[in-house]
Structure 1
Amino acid sequence: MKKNAARVTTIIASLLSLLWLFGFFLSIGDFYNGKAETIDKEPVETKSATEQTGKDLTVVALGDSLTRGTGDDAGLGYVGLVTEELKERLRPQEVQVYNLGINGQTSAELLQQLGMQNIGRQLEEADVILMTIGGNDLFQQGETLVDLNLEKVQGLQQTYLANLQQIFTTIRQHNSDATIFILGLYNPFIDLDDSDATNTVVRGWNYATELNAGQFEKVVFVPTFDLFQLSVNEYLYSDKFHPNHAGYKLISDRLAPLINWEKETESND
């Protein structure tokens, strides 16, 4: 009886061992054939280009009062809003931002600023460069539109374009890789009686800026004219010139996806 019981026990143990081995080899086979099921069946989230490379993003912002964020009661401006969105998208990587904008700055003054040694060092570190420039060259605190003279505007534009050409050239001397996003002008005076004339001037200015930017690699012209065209007063600060928080949000919502898309495209090349 004892021998029979022992024999039965041995047979059962052998069968259990065979079943274990069968299950083991089946699992191994599924693993190498890519059929193994994972415990976590949640969809895998696609990571942005910066997350894939693990590299922090450095943003340098240049230009005038729009880059400074004048008119935004929240104190963010488009640079701050873009930064917030990029930080959210690119977690856990860091987004470093250097806002070098100056209220009232013209293209000639920006060109002078770029000649400063410490500015050159910051440009060298940049992955993305944001820029608003030209509004003060054209509007000159509204004086240009008091007595609109197209010949005068043409002269202002030629000087601005020569400066802009040198601005891009100077930036590229410091940094040949960073993508530059230059924002076009909107027309804050679109509700005035001469809106047709001022619209023509601003659109022509933007077109010339876009052509100038197109001469350089990785320079992206970002239009803003259409964002303010239909309801300009809803998006202007009390000075009726600078954007309010909602206006800056319009700009940010257009700019941030372009930056993220461009960096992802760059990573896949």
Structure 2
Amino acid sequence: MSELEKEKVVVLEERVPKLKQRRRQKVNRRLTAYIAFFFMLILSIIYFQSPLSNIQHIEVKGNQHVSAGRIIELSGLTNRTSFWKVKAEQVERAIESHPEIKQAKLKKQFLNTIVLYVKERRRIAYIEHKQTFFPLLENGQILTENKPKTALSDAPILVNWKKGEDIQEMAGQLAQLPPYILNAISEIHYAPTKYDRYHITVYMNDGFEVSANVQNFAEKMLLYPAIVKQLNPNVKGVIHLEVSNYFKAYDEEKKGDGNEKNTR
């Protein structure tokens, strides 16, 4: 055997153990990967079958009149519901079935938390009937369940309103008013006259009284803040907004002397 051939044999003999070692390392890495995958699969199965994958917390935000408990009840979600099986659209539709809920949105947060964001329909008035107050929503719907025995201060009270169509027309006008004007109204009395079946008397929280007409009420009431600025806050009276706009102090109203202040 030549010297060259001997050198090749020696080199091969030195490489064989290294090749075997690399092969073993490759097999070990592959085996380790398979074992890790197997354990991850087992852990995933255990996790999804255990209470650990269920909803841990449910939060409700944006509600004012509808309780958080009622909203969660409508959602159908409990701490036995799988966090990963929650269908947002289905839950949102269920919550929006409540007459006071205008919009619902579900968000998932880390650590199995569900947040329910809701937007309620505005209560634009309370209809007084036999010492009970029925909330009137911005879409014209009257709530007959869970009616309060005392009117809340977030909307005016409608007094002497009997006919549904009159209430609906008034609701349409109130829905057009911005909150700062709506909140300034205390009571709205249906007070038809011989010449105007749509006449109303409005009592304001600042002590003024407004004589108006249902049909153009929203348009006229938008002028109210500017009109009041022109008046003496210590002299209360009636602001007439039927056709032309003018003010009469209570003393002048009683005397009927015709003295009036034009508020145009």
Q: TM-score range by the shorter chain?
A: under 0.3
TM-score, normalised on structure 1? Answer: 0.27
Higher helix proportion, which one?
A: 1
**Rg (Cα) greater in structure:** 2
Higher strand proportion, which one?
A: 2
Structure having greater relative contact order (Cα 8 Å, sep ≥ 6): 1
